[in-house]
Structure 1
C-alpha cells in the first residue's frame, strides 16, 4: 500500500531531511519532485498543484529556512497538508436510526457485496449491533447467493426475495423485516454496473428516496486511481452520499484515490478494506495514513489491533508458565494464532516505523507461519509441553511428518529457546537490564 509513493516522497524530501544548506531554491525543487510523486500516484493534477503551493506558502510563512531544523519542519508541513487533504479527522458512521439504514452504492467489481459483509461484521463485533444484510442486486448472476454465503460466514441474517425483481420493494421489505425481528442496523447491497449508466443511477436514487438511509456510502476500488474519483463525482451528483469506502488498499494501489477523493467530492473516506478476510476493515484515519505514506509507520493502529486480540486471562496463564519454566509449544502456537488474527504480515510490518523501507523488494509471505505450525502439529502433546525431550530420532520423525527438514526443526527449536530465555528475562526483573542493553546498542 502506497509503497511507490512513499519511496518517491522520501527521495524528494531527502535533501531537506539532511543537515545541508536549505534554500528557497531547493525547497522549490523538492516540492516540484513532491508534486511529480503525487501525479505518478495518480493524484488529481489540480489537487497535486494546490497541495505543493499550500506547503510552499506555509513554509515561507513560518520562516522554515531560518529554523534550527528546517528539514524536519518541512516534513511536518508535508504531513500536515496530507492529513488535511485526506479529510483531517476520522469520520464516524451515523447509527441513530431505529433501525439504522446504510445504503451501499458503487460500480460492479468494486467489492461492494464483500464489504457489506465486512461492515456488518464490524458493527456486530465492535459496536454490539444486530445487523441485517439485504440483497437488492437482482441482475448479477449469483449476487444473492454471494451475499448469503457472506452472511453465513459472519453469522448475520440475509434478507432476499428471489421472486421479486423490484429492488425498491425489496429494500423496503428488508427494513420492515429488520423492525419486526428487532434488528437495529440494515445494510442494503445494491446492484452495480460495469460503467455508470442512467438506469443504474435512477434505480439507486429511487431506493434512496424510498428508505431514507442514515448513511449512503460509495464503495470504490482503490486500484482504479483517478477513475475512482471521477466515478465518485458522478455518484455524488445523484446521491449526495455521506462517505467513501476504499477497498483493496492491500493490493498494488498507487494511492491517488485515497489522497484526492476528499478534495474532489468533498466527502470523507470512512472505512478502508485491507484484505480478503471478513475482519479486514479499518476506520480511515487521515493522520495515521499520512504517517504511513511518509514512512513513519502507524504504531497506534498496530497497538489497537494487538489489544483487540489480546486475551488477559491467557496472558496471565502464560506468565505463570514462564515463571515456572513451563512455557511450551502449545503456548507458542497460541501466540502465533493471535498474531495471525491481527492481519496480513506485510500490512503489520508497514505499521512499524522504518520497516516498510527495510522490507522493500522482499516478498513477505502471509503463510510464513505455516511451516512452523506444521512442525508443532507433528509433535506429540508430551513433546509440545516438554521440548527438551526432542532427541535426534524424535526430530527425524517430526521433520518427516511435517514435510520439513531436520534443519528446519532445529532452527525452530533454537528460536523457541531464545524466545523463552528472553521472556524469562523480562519476567524476572531483567526488563531494566534489557532496556539498558538496547540503549547501549543505539
Structure 2
C-alpha cells in the first residue's frame, strides 16, 4: 500500500460531522492542528474515521514515541486494568510506581544517589521541581531562559516566554521569575557574551535569591533550538557558583527522542533535577522529577503527591516504553532518522533563501523560515507549508516564538520508507510555497 492514503477530501464527511458536534460541546479555547478524528493507528500512521491514513510526524507532540498503538504498551495496560485501575499511591501503594522510579534513578545521568517522584503532566513536573528546589534552598526565585516553554498552569505560564496563544488574557502570573537570554546559534550572540550577561543578572538580584535555574536542553515550543556549544555547561557552572538547583526540562526531548536517552547527555551536563513526561507514559498521563537524593528528600512527608500521580495504568505503560527503548537498535534507528531528515532538508538551505535553518537532534528536527537578509520570521510560509502537508496526508506541527518553524517529531519506530515518503511531500510543499510568484520574498 502506498502511504499516505487519501480517500476523501481533508477533512472528510464523518470528521466534519464530528467537528460540528465538537463545536457544540467543547470550548474554542482548545485549538486543533488538523480537524480529523482518528479511528486507529500504527507505529507510523494515523487513520481517520473516513478511512484516510496520514503519515505521523507529530507523535502527539512527542508523546507516542513508540507508536500510537504499540502492542506491548497495550498488553501491559490491559493486564493492569484486569487487576485494578487506581488506588492513589499516597493511600495504598503498588509495585509499578517503584519500578518506574528505579529505572529512572538508574538511567538519569549522574553518579549521585537519586530519588524519583511521579506526577501526571509536564507542567506538574515543572511546578514540583520548583517546589522541591525552594524547599531545599529556602529561596523563592526561579531563573528561566528566553524562548522557553514549560507548561500551561499559572506558574509554568509565568516561566514560558511565548505570549500568544499561551499567556494572552490569563495574567497576572506568579512573581519571583526572572528571564535570562538564550544562546540561539541562528539569532543569538556569542555564548560567552550570553553567559556573562546571565551572570550579571544573577549578581544584580543576588545569587541567594534563586532556588532554581530551569532550562530545556533543546527548546520545544521555542523552535527546537539546539543551544550553542558550551551554553548548558555554562549554566551548570553559574548554578554551582551560586548554590542554585539546575533543573533540566527533558519533557519533550527525553526518553530517546534525540538518539540518547536524554538530550542533556549530548552536552555531558548533569542536572540536579531532571524532568520527564510526554513519551514517559506512551499516551497515558505520567510525568517524573528525578534528582539528587539530598534535594528530593528535603520536602516534608505529605508535601508531594496528587490524586492521580503515578497512576498504575500509566506506570505499566512507562515500563513498556522502557523495555522498547532498551531493545537493540532502537536508539541507533533514531540517529538514522536524523540522517534521513537532514539529507532531505539541508540541500534546501542552499537552494531556497527563506529556508533559514535546519536543526535538531535525532527524531527532534525542525526547519525555520525567515527572510534571508533580515531573518525576519516567515510564519506565513510555515503555516502554508504545514497546511499543504496536511492536505497531502502528512501530519506536521509548527512551533517557534514567532510561529515560523515546522517541527518534525516522528515516532522513534517509524518505518524508514514511510519517513522518506513523508519527507518527499514536505520538500515538495516547501518548493511549491517558496516558488509562489505572488511572494517574491519566498524565492531563493
Using the size of structure 1 for normalisation, the TM-score is 0.30
Q: Quick one: higher RCO (CA 8 Å, sep 6+), 1 or 2? A: 2
Q: Which has the higher helix share?
A: 1
Bigger radius of gyration among the two = 1
TM-score, with structure 2 as normaliser: 0.30
